[in-house]
Amino acid sequence: MPDRAVLIPLELDPANPPPGSRVHALHGASMGTTWSARVARTGIGGVQAALQAELDAIVAQMSHWEDDSLLSRYNRAPAGTWIDLPPQFFDVIDYALWAHDASGGAYDPAAGALVALWGFGPKRRYDQAGFYAPDAAAIARVQAAHLEAVRPTLDRASRRLLQPGGAMLDLSSLAKGYAVDRLALCLEGRGLRHYLVEVGGELRGAGLKPDGQPWWVEVEAVPDGGAAPQAVVALHGLSIATSGDYRQYFNLDQHRVSHTLDPHTGRPVASGVAAVTVLAPTCMAADALSTVLNVLGPVDGLAFAERRALAARFLVRRAGRLEEIVSPAWEALLQ
């Protein structure tokens, strides 16, 4: 494989932006990070405020940092409480519960207590003074409660979610990807179909730039990966997300403790995967599935990707270097 791989979608829409279009750049802050949008059009008045409003709504519903968010109120609700869900929250939890079932529990949106235990929640953070890693007894106690807990029940007909008692949702592993999708839908609802949108490094693109080129983006590199294989992708009707062990982590006894947790063990993943990148039509799917594959590891994760025709790339740490493993669907996009 060449040092710089190029990935092109299998289906291309040749429609160009309207004559006289130029690229408009918008940006802002949300979800503890930044967002941006590049839109090819003659004019896009009023779009900045609309995009920010989309993100603000997601924060108000799904943030585990905000005490008054819908998610935080759900987590505090007594057992037996049914919570009415707005469309955004419903879409996210519906997909999260599907990912849980499809992955055999490798993905668990109700693992909030485990996330907090390891210092990756909103309080008692791993990067704050006074934090210490949990001992075996604490891990066993929280893990036992997690495995014994009744899963949240989603009534799809009434769009309500049951708090069975003690369920702690954490949707941070797909809410950012969903936010990218909402930005894209907001633009498309205004007739803007040539764009590249991004939230915290997760991206979705559609259409073309005014010069007829697609939106080229580099696949996220592992900062400490050395001379790892590089790739660029044309985000033309595609989204991209990466789950890696280098974003949030701390070192414990000379081992890297990643923020990605295995719900089956109650511990951070330890498969040697440095990063998993997924290409998918929606960014929510790419975001969630990159986490699924990270938890499953390079063997079971690759099998999962092959069964579902997912375009995925694993970078695995092997004796001081990164080994690249790609799924058949990823390889099919290579040019």
pLDDT at 28 over 90: yes
Question: How large is the average pLDDT for residues 154-163?
Answer: 97
Residue % of the chain over a pLDDT of 90: 72
pLDDT at 145 over 90: no
Predicted confidence band at 1 (pLDDT cuts at 50, 70, 90)?
very low
Specify the pLDDT at position 67.
93
| Residues 6 or more apart in contact with residue 112 via CB below 8 angstroms | 64, 75, 121, 168, 169, 170
Specify the pLDDT at position 306.
98
- Residue 129 burial (CB < 10 Å; 0-12/13-18/19+)? exposed
Whole-structure pTM value:
0.94
Higher pLDDT, 117 or 284: 284
Predicted confidence band at 27 (pLDDT cuts at 50, 70, 90)?
very high
Strand order in the sheet with 230-234: 4-7, 230-234, 216-218
Q: How many CA atoms lie within 13 A of 70 on its CB side?
A: 21
CA 208-210-211 angle, 5° bins: 95
Higher pLDDT, 258 or 50: 50
pLDDT at 191 over 50: yes
pLDDT at 224 over 80: no
Residue % of the chain over a pLDDT of 70: 97
- Per-residue pLDDT tens for 244-273? 887 777 777 767 788 899 999 999 998 889
β-bridge partners, 325 = 314
What would the CATH number be for the domain defined by 4-333?
Answer: 3.10.520.10
Question: How large is the average pLDDT for residues 271-298?
Answer: 96
Question: How large is the average pLDDT for residues 96-119?
Answer: 94
pLDDT at 225 over 70: no
| Residues 6 or more apart in contact with residue 85 via CB below 8 angstroms | 70, 93, 159, 160, 161
Higher pLDDT, 141 or 204: 204
